[in-house]
A = this chain, B = another copy of it.
C-alpha cells in the first residue's frame, strides 16, 4: 500500500509538502497541492493512522465503560455520549464490562498504552483509588458521585432523588412502601437502600423485611416480585422500583393476577424509560441523556487542555406524574 514517501516522489514534491496537504496547512502553492491531491487520488492513498497516532500522541478516541449495553439505563446515557462524540469528531470505544473489574482495568490500560485519549466510566465495580491511579495517564470521568476525587464526575444525587420519590409517595398518603432494588452491587443501589431504610425509620413507616426485594434488573424480575407480593400476608400499599422496565414487569403481572394499580398497589418507577410512557408509570426522570452528553463534553475539554482540573457536575431530577401512584 502506498505511503507518503511514494506520493511525494510521484508528485515531485517532498514528504513535508504532502503532509501539509494532508493536514490542510497553509503555505502550499496551488500547483503542488493539486499535484499531490491528484497523486493521492490516483494511488488510492490514505494515511496509516497508527503512524499519526504515534507521532502526535493522540488517537481521537474515547472509551466508555458500562456494565450492559442492553440495559435501558445505560443505553440512554450512551446515546447522550454518542451524540456529543459525533459533534466533536471523536470516536467512542465501547466496553461492556459486566461489572468485571478485569474488563474495566483493560480499558484503563488502553489509556495507559495510549490507544485512547480518555475514559468515560458510566458505572463501575472499581474502587475509586484504582481509578485515581490511572488519572496519571489521561483524563477520566465517571457518571457516579465518588466524592471530589482526582477525576471528574457527572452525577445524580441518588440519595436525595430517592428520598424525594419516597416523599412523593407518603405525600399521596401511602404509609407502607416496598422497594425493588436494582443490581445488588450497583453503586447506586447501595445509596438508595440507605435512603430507603433511613426514610422508613425517620417517618416511622410500616416495614416488613420481605418488602425489600433485591436484584431486580429485568421485566421478569419485576413479574416475579409481583408474584411474591401476592403471597405476602401483609402487602405494602406502594412499591418504589428502580427501572421502569422492572416496574412494567411487576405491573403487568400484578394486573394479570387481578390487582388494581394504583388502587390495590401504587407503583413508582425510576429512570423514565420508554416502556414507562406506554404503561403510564409514574416515574423519576434522571436526565440520563444529558448525563452522557455532559460527560463527553467535559472529557473532551480535558483532553485538549494542558493541565486539566477535575470537574464535578451535579444533575437535577424531577418526578413525572402519570397514573400508577
A46 CB contact (under 8 Å) in B59, B109, B253? B109
A220 engages B278 (CB within 8 Å): yes
Q: How many copies of this protein are present in the complex?
A: 2
Interface residues of A in 66-110 (CB under 8 A from B): 69-70, 72, 75-76, 78-79, 82, 91-94, 96, 109-110
- A57 shortest CB reach to chain B, Å: 8
Number of A residues contacting the other chain (C-beta, 8 Å)?
Answer: 40
CB-defined contacts of A274 to chain B, threshold 8 Å? 218-220
A50 touches B47 (CB 8 A): no
Min C-beta distance of A196 to chain B, whole Å: 26
Of all chain B residues, the one with the shortest Cβ separation from A76 is B70
Q: A69-B75, A114-B48 are in contact. Are A252 and B223 (CB under 8 A)?
A: no
Chain B residues near A91 (CB, 8 Å)?
93, 110
A113 CB-CB contact with B under 8 Å: yes
CA distance A79 to B92 in the complex (A): 18
For the complex, is A205 an interface residue (Cβ under 8 Å from B)?
A: no
SS of A interface (majority): helix
Knowing A70-B75, A79-B70, A94-B93 are in contact, say whether A49-B115 is a contact too (CB < 8 A). yes
Q: Per-residue CB proximity of A35-72 to B under 8 Å, as 1/0? A: 00000000000111111011000010000000001101
Chain B residues with Cβ below 8 Å from A79 are 70
**A89 nearest CB neighbor, chain B only:** B106
Cβ of A275: which chain B residues have Cβ within 8 Å of it? 219
| Bound complex: CA A220 to CA B75 (Å) | 18
Chain A residues with CB under 8 Å of chain B are 46-51, 53-54, 59, 69-70, 72, 75-76, 78-79, 82, 91-94, 96, 109-110, 112-115, 218-220, 223, 249, 252-253, 274-275, 277-279
